[in-house]
Amino acid sequence: MPQQPVRIAPSILSADFAKLGEEVRAIDAAGADYIHIDVMDGHFVPNITIGPSVVKALRPHTDKPFDVHLMIAPVDPYIEAFAEAGADIITVHPESGPHLHRTVQKIKCLGKKAGVSLNPATPIEVLDYILPDLDLVLVMSVNPGFGGQSFIESQLEKIAKIRKRIDLLGKQIDLEVDGGITTGTIGDAVAAGADVLVAGTATFKGGPDMYAANIQALKDLGLKATGGSKA
């Protein structure tokens, strides 16, 4: 099965929190494919961001898929709230609960797409008995908790190995990478097999007038890394 097209998921963690609705509308118009929403609890990761009420408030501002990354533990008690708030994809960490399969099934039963995220030191073997049930695998190329970090090069090998597993399975599963994605790193991530790139700082730098150019630059470099060229 051919690799899916390169898509950009701007992380609103890098947006202006004083006007989030306006920022979401701006990145939608600028060509975002997904809206990536980082949820942090100050426990599982060392930062606190937003909860389901903010996701619900943002939902009317765009029809683009809400790609909600739950960096919280325990995660199970909050899945339904984020589903009801308007999440389209709900991604969890294997370490955020005792029964990953049960967590994934809960997401699917709520009619949402399910993702699993691997921290830099989390081995790919955690996917052994869950990959066929997933819609997305998220490789963290930084340690989760803060935006603006540098890409961890060792994750390229992990991306490539997961790409092979997805291809062997023959199912369309997004292979997403989050952390340190810039015009300097996106090519390597895509060449390794990523097809959804979370970009916070790289999308929002320069303000709203630059969002479209920032996203297009990332897409062009991602396309080039697949061996394609801009139409």
CATH number of the domain to which 211 belongs? 3.20.20.70
Cis ω for the linkage preceding 74 (within 30 of 0): yes
Burial of 36 (0-12, 13-18, 19+ CB in 10 A): buried
pLDDT digits (tens, 9 = 90+) for 107-127: 999 999 999 999 999 999 999
Average pLDDT of the segment spanning 94-106: 97
Average pLDDT of the segment spanning 10-39: 97
Buried (b) or exposed (e) across 101-116, using 16+ Cβ within 10 A? eebbebbeeeebbbbb
% of the chain at pLDDT higher than 70: 96
The Cα 88–Cα 84 span in angstroms is 10
Average pLDDT over the chain reads: 95
Residue 196 lies in a domain: yes
Residue 231 lies in a domain: no
Identify the active-site residue in 33, 38, 135, 174: 38
State the greatest distance between any 2 C-alpha atoms of the chain, in Å, as a whole number. 47
Cβ count near 169 (within 10 Å): 13
User: Tokens in use for 50?
Assistant: 């937003």
| pLDDT for res 149 | 79
Residue 2 lies in a domain: no
Residue 88 lies in a domain: yes
Residue 230 lies in a domain: no
| pLDDT for res 228 | 73
- Asked if residue 147 lies in contact with residue 11, where contact means CB atoms within 8 angstroms, the answer is yes
Segment holding 108, helix H or strand E: helix 100-109
Q: What are phi and psi of 113, to 5 degrees?
A: -75, 145
Residue 135, pLDDT above cutoff 70: yes
Angle at 86 (CA atoms; ends 141, 50), nearest 5 degrees = 55
Identify the active-site residue in 41, 174, 178, 195: 178
Residue 1 lies in a domain: no
3-7's contacts with Cβ under 8 Å and 24+ in sequence apart are 3/163, 3/167, 3/193, 3/195, 3/226, 4/172, 4/174, 4/195, 5/195, 6/190, 6/195, 6/196, 6/197, 6/219, 6/222, 6/223, 6/225, 6/226, 7/33, 7/34, 7/174, 7/195, 7/196, 7/197
Residue 32 lies in a domain: yes
Residue 231, pLDDT above cutoff 60: no
User: Tokens in use for 158?
Assistant: 């992990």
C-alpha 177 chain-centroid distance: 6
| pLDDT for res 191 | 96
| pLDDT for res 14 | 95
- Judged by DSSP in three states, 169 sits in helix
pLDDT digits (tens, 9 = 90+) for 163-196: 999 999 999 999 999 999 999 999 999 999 999 9
**Number of domains, the chain:** 1
- Judged by DSSP in three states, 103 sits in helix
| pLDDT for res 2 | 57
pLDDT digits (tens, 9 = 90+) for 188-197: 999 999 999 9
Q: Is 128 a catalytic residue?
A: no
Residue 96 lies in domain: 7-225
